[in-house]
Amino acid sequence: MHFTTKAEAESAIAAATEVFFATQARASFERHATLTRISEGLEAQLEDFAQLLCTEAKKPIRDARVEVQRARMTFSLAADEARRFGGELLPLDLSAAAAGRLGLVRRFPLGPIAAVTPFNFPLNLVAHKLAPAIAVGAPVVLKPAEKTPRIALKLQELVHASGWPEAAFAVLTPETPQEIGTLLATDPRLPVFSFTGSDRVGWELKRLATKKHVTLELGGNAAVLVADDADIAPTVARCVAGGFAYSGQVCISVQRVFVHKTHFEAFCEALVAKTRALRLGDPADENTDLGPMITEAAAIRVEQWVEQAKAAGARVLLQGLRDGASLAPSILTHVPVDQPIACDEVFGPVVVVESVESFDEGIARINASRFGLQAGVFTYDMRRILQAHQQLRVGGVIINDVPTFRSDSMPYGGDGDSGTGREGIRWTMDEYTSPRVLVL
């Protein structure tokens, strides 16, 4: 069942509120069993989910299968966490007045979860909202992206068939998405609001969600720093994969690359050559590397940003042509820092590569952004690795790989305009719960 009107959304919220105490009371072995059945169901239906991802999200079929496998892993990880989500014993007898007292701290869910997810990972990003909620015993009311609702609806069928109550996972497919997004952000019956999407929408909804616990994952313009001791061939290969997978429609897609001057010319030459070898085509074709973007309007916007940068003085190393929603990759350099492709989130197949004089300059150039989700650093110097970890204002520093890497078990989120809070199963469970002390 899904809900399309505001009245139906209100009824879904009421049902989630009513079922909350029942889901909270479920024993950890029950939550583990439900999550395990969902994980096994995704494995059994892998090709069905992958084909739907390919059709609805226009994701190349090879990438679609990877996403289903990741979602399967996400539910499996949550199943494990459900059995070890414990508490802490505290000695309270620190003075004579507290002699004989002991504290037991446990975390309890704050209440039903309001969740909003984007189109680009319409299965695994839903899993990252839902799996931790089941692990702690909290219902979820979800509004998936209006461009990709069928993936969430198919997952809903599997979740309900796996033993999770119907009222505890509702999928809203509203006729008025903005109205329902505002409802989820403001309704006091949903004390947690978890949003993944654009920074403009996310921060506005956080402003409205005045008394809620809010987590935001809002993307960015992820950067790579290539030091003078980097191994160029594998670095280029990873930057091509990280910059153009799913046509760059990934919040941690490689967008900015800062290369030490000693490697700059060779790096650019190799980057262009390897990018030219990518295969564009039908996402259902097993050999396709890049399919069309989600809409023609999205492709036109990216194309316009490239043209705007050219007019402002950027040098084009490779310009991809557009055919409807399909847009071939572009690589630019000498891009003015105030151009959208340098300072905003492109969310398309565009990489900006620039030369830097030193590792320190590279750190500074990465930090000169309003975003701070993840960054990749290519170096074998441990001192530089520790420097990057300390000085980069991002949620994750990926060494000798691109910022596009994400393990579904690690804390994931950003600083600045990239959001607030962290996802990743164990960390999301903390976001969904609060500590409560029992004094004995």
Cα gap 327→132, rounded to integer Å:
36
Helix or strand run (H / E) with residue 377: strand 374-378
Is residue 431 among the annotated active site residues? no
Q: Which amino acid is at 29?
A: F
Is residue 166 among the annotated active site residues? no
| Three-class secondary structure of residue 286 per DSSP | coil
Quick one: tokens of 255?
């967008």
Cα gap 46→71, rounded to integer Å:
10
- Annotated catalytic residue: which of 217, 303, 354, 431? 217
Burial annotation 53-85 (CB, 10 A radius, 16+ → b, else e): bbebbbbbbebbbbbbbbbbbbbbbbbbbbeeb
- Annotated catalytic residue: which of 251, 268, 423, 431? 251
Cα gap 271→249, rounded to integer Å:
19
Quick one: tokens of 387?
């420097």
The beta strands (E) that lie in 346-440 are given as 350-356, 371-372, 374-378, 396-399, 415-416, 419-420, 433-439
Helix or strand run (H / E) with residue 329: none
Beta carbons within 10 angstroms of residue 20's beta carbon: 20
DSSP state of 303: H
Q: Phi then psi for 353, rounded to 5 degrees? A: -120, 130
333 strand-pairing partners: 315
Supply the residues annotated as catalytic.
Answer: 217, 251
